[in-house]
Structure 1
Amino acid sequence: MNDLQQTLDQLRAALGDSAVITGAAINQRHYSDWTGYAPACPAAVLLPRTTEQVADALRICNAAGQPVVPQGGMTGLAGGAVPRATDIALSLERMRGIEEIDAAAATVSVWAGTTLQEIQQAAVEAGFLFPLDLGARGSCQIGGNIATNAGGNAVIRYGMTRDLVLGLEVVLADGRVLNLLNKMIKNNCGYDLKQCFIGSEGTLGVITRAILKLAPLPGETTTVLCALPDYASAVSFLRRVQRSAGTPQAYELMWQDFFRLGVSWLENPVPPMSDEHPLYVLFESAGPRELLEQTLEAAIEGGEVVDAIMASSHTQARALWKIREATGEFPLRMTPLNFDVSLPIGQIGDFAELCRQRLDQRWPGNHSVYFGHIGDSNLHLTVDCRSLPQPAPILEIEELVYTAVGEMGGSVSAEHGIGLLKREFLHHSVSAQARQAMQQLKDSFDPKGILNPGKIL
């Protein structure tokens, strides 16, 4: 009997036969994430139902030196949950549900396998908002959101996932359970260990439960589309809106190339305003409509805005958002190479121009589009590989973009994590000394290196 078979036998004894899936019975969704990168059927998939079963599974695998890849909804975009054929995948999909909503504390307690949409709906039913929001809300799991420190459109107002987490329950590689559950905003008892696991992509421990902050439900929001003359105006206009009407719920900047593309993919491809402007911003605000109108008038007088549309109905607002949501069509209409980077807000415009110039110099005729949540320092850049020489020089493009990020002191990952796809470029944003400290942390929590090996480091 080989070592793997012995380990599987022990896992079946601890978790039950129905919780240990092997061979042809493994669903292909466990092979790779949404990138489709390096798909592989893992040696087994574990489907625990309790924290105790997760602890038993990791204790057994750690003793055997068996690598384990934690998996959530598999909606990641960095290869962070992709297994190898020799790995055991640990799926949290059976550990789902809302444990409690505490109205006084404005918190919700959930199992890690609960989808983001389930949490959002439960919060609304209780009269609250859970402000994390992603396009994959119906599929992504909160454990994965926490493990990757997910972002989304509302970061400008509510912060990253890290800012919404009050407490965690985490199982370490050797099976020890850390109870870091907490409902208090003020809790200053030494090291805040939960922060080690937020954004660690399952390399330090497996998140099994979480306590999350809820926000008040916003009042009626107004959606506004504006045309802008330049990037500096986009930043100046954002600060004007914040001063007059408060921080918006979302502030989405689209360069002309993205705006034209988004409009062209609409069922009725007629732009809501001229498509000749350099930049467009789509934002939502819960401020009084009259105040927003005054703000727009002042911005137009000041030259920050050259044209504007304030949605008069939910239908019109959704129509405007469909332009920004063209990203959902990228995999169907392009061969996309996506970049998710962050830079100091004042430098994002210069970075976009620098990347465009370098891409055009190296590959004339390439097609790329730029868009992002600039209020939280985030820029997205997508290159259509169909517009490049074949086979597409993906590594060269990645090195070009990430080198520019490093030159401007930015981050190679704003909200999608590192995983496998950005691991080789981490040095552009993280110093050798910091990477060494990260490795020491990994060695401390997971000395045998069984948790999600090869990811991040």
Structure 2
Amino acid sequence: MDDTGRAGNVALMLGGLPEAAARALVDPVPPRNRNDWSALSPETPAALFCPRTTAEVAAILRAADAAGVSVVPQGGLTGLCGGARPIAGGIALSLEKMAGIEEIDEASATMTVLAGTPLETVQRAAAEAGMYFPLDLGARGSCAIGGNAGTNAGGNRVIRYGMTRDLVLGVEAVLPDGTVVNALSKLIKNNTGYDLRQLFIGSEGTLGIITRLTLRLFPAPACTHAAICGLPDYDAVLRLLSGARRRLGPMLSAFEAMWPDYWQIACAVPGVRDPLESCHPHTVLIETQGMDEQIDGQRMAAFLEEMFEAGVVADAALSQSLADVRDFWGVRDAASEFKATLGPHHAYDVGLTTGRMDAFAHACRTAVATAVPGGRSVYYGHVGDGNLHLLAWLPGASPQPGEALDRAVYETVRRFDGSVSAEHGIGITKKPYLAYSRSAEEIALMKRLKHALDPRGTLNPGKVIDA
């Protein structure tokens, strides 16, 4: 169907909407709703809806499905793969007005929230109740919790708390035909057939639109300690990780590794302080969260001393305050400022077995330089949970040779039996490479699920897979 036909169907859909759902229409479409944070060009949908209730979401989807109009759900629009980029002639459905905390149940250690609630709002509400919601991303002030679930976001503390799917006990979702599926639950143990929430978590809004969630909460940490460690080689990184798991146990909340090419650029970012004032072959940020400042601090110091004596750590800085912890994380989070430092570049998020990450970095660095003469790449990431980030670019090039860089990176990922997406999702940009990480049988099953729940193909079409 061409854009003219779609526009006619949008008009037909509008005429069939209940008054309350029709009032959710926003015109004209603001620029922010024409793309997410991906490098794709913006697209203007035929209409933007901002519903306030699940009933309005259901009415909009029901009318759109009947008219054959595509619907692209939008949360905080912080995705990096084009999953929330609208489609010409279709509608964008933003959940930004469906925000708020419905309930905090201290006895069950749960929070029930609307899907458009910003992640930072969820974190603060948990903290005000004396509890803790551990999902944390750099975009915490902008991203929405429904989008976090839709993409199965990871973040900095997966090594201790797991991905978003591990933090969601239940969801309410609206199917493409407007059916509301209430799979909200506060139960950790709920072994009653298919786990329907997992159909929607990580599906990037292609199977249904999440409207409410029940989240797991945890005891608020009483203290946080961090250390920046300089190490002589990658074998030492693995030995440090093994020792941290063994000696620090459940206190270990983050284990972030940075290769020297990343470290040098990060420490040159204005406002970033180098805690070691020297560059090592590998640098690791370790964080612990505990319940006793003195005991846990002593345990961290004793562990570092043990690693020094074993020759694993060559240099280290141990936090003495929360300000130090923030400064240490500042080096790891400096990548968010690299656009100003490096200029245009492509960011990648891949999954690998931890033991092969260094070999991958060497191979990928060579592959990028071979595919794009003069091309550069830098490496860092959540090594403790098998998630490596990298940036690749051709200095001075505009536009960047994105296709050649993508191919070099993802073909190397395939050679190392890795995942082309560890935590950012597939969206549009990674769809051509999905088969690098998923078998033909897996993709066929995904298509069967998509067709079963969305036979007309109206919900976020063209994302993740082609139905």
Instruction: Compute the TM-score of the two structures, normalised by the length of structure 2.
Output: 0.94
CA deviation string 1:254-289 (max 9, x = no partner)? 10011111111133x763324331110112113511
CA–CA distance in structure 1, aligned partners of residues 399 and 210 of structure 2: 39
1:38 counterpart SS class: coil
Map of 1:450 onto structure 2: 458
Picking from 143, 147, 153, the partner of 1:144 is: 147
Pairwise CA distance, 1:242: 1.7
Does residue 22 of structure 2 align to residue 16 of structure 1?
A: yes
Pairwise CA distance, 1:6: 1.7
| Letter matched to residue 308 of structure 2 | I
CA deviation string 1:399-444 (max 9, x = no partner)? 1111111111110000000000100010100111111110000000
Picking from 52, 71, 74, the partner of 2:74 is: 71
2:320 counterpart SS class: coil
Distance 1:306 1:51, change over 3 A: same
Residue correspondences, number: 452
| Letter matched to residue 245 of structure 1 | L
Distance 1:45 1:318, change over 3 A: same
Picking from 186, 199, 202, the partner of 1:199 is: 202
Pairwise CA distance, 1:387: 5.0
Does residue 361 of structure 2 align to residue 357 of structure 1?
A: no
Map of 2:321 onto structure 1: 313
Map of 2:388 onto structure 1: 379
CA–CA distance in structure 2, aligned partners of residues 186 and 202 of structure 1: 26
Map of 1:323 onto structure 2: 331
Question: Is the Cα–Cα contact under 8 Å of residues 259 and 275 in structure 1 kept in the other structure?
Answer: no
Does residue 184 of structure 2 align to residue 181 of structure 1?
A: yes
CA–CA distance in structure 1, aligned partners of residues 57 and 310 of structure 2: 59
Does residue 161 of structure 2 align to residue 164 of structure 1?
A: no
Pairwise CA distance, 1:231: 1.5
CA deviation string 1:34-67 (max 9, x = no partner)? 1241211110011111111111111101111110
Does residue 43 of structure 2 align to residue 40 of structure 1?
A: yes
1:386 counterpart SS class: coil
1:286 counterpart SS class: strand
| Letter matched to residue 173 of structure 1 | P
Question: Is the Cα–Cα contact under 8 Å of residues 83 and 427 in structure 2 kept in the other structure?
Answer: yes
Map of 1:403 onto structure 2: 411
Pairwise CA distance, 1:219: 2.0
Where does structure 1 lack aligned partners over 5 or more consecutive residues?
none
Map of 1:273 onto structure 2: 276
Pairwise CA distance, 1:358: 1.8
Map of 2:227 onto structure 1: 224
Residue identity over aligned pairs, in percent, reads 48
Question: Is the Cα–Cα contact under 8 Å of residues 255 and 285 in structure 2 kept in the other structure?
Answer: yes
Which one is further off, 163-172 or 291-300? Answer: 291-300
2:395 counterpart SS class: helix
Report the RMSD for the aligned CA atoms in angstroms.
1.5
1:114 counterpart SS class: coil
Does residue 43 of structure 2 align to residue 51 of structure 1?
A: no
2:238 counterpart SS class: helix
Instruction: Compute the TM-score of the two structures, normalised by the length of structure 1.
Output: 0.96
CA–CA distance in structure 1, aligned partners of residues 350 and 400 of structure 2: 21
CA deviation string 1:364-417 (max 9, x = no partner)? 4323210000111000010134355x5432111111111111111110000000
Map of 1:4 onto structure 2: 10
CA–CA distance in structure 2, aligned partners of residues 240 and 2 of structure 1: 63
Map of 2:3 onto structure 1: none
Picking from 418, 430, 441, the partner of 2:449 is: 441
Question: Is the Cα–Cα contact under 8 Å of residues 266 and 323 in structure 1 kept in the other structure?
Answer: no
| Letter matched to residue 123 of structure 2 | Q
Does residue 325 of structure 2 align to residue 346 of structure 1?
A: no
Question: Is the Cα–Cα contact under 8 Å of residues 166 and 182 in structure 1 kept in the other structure?
Answer: yes
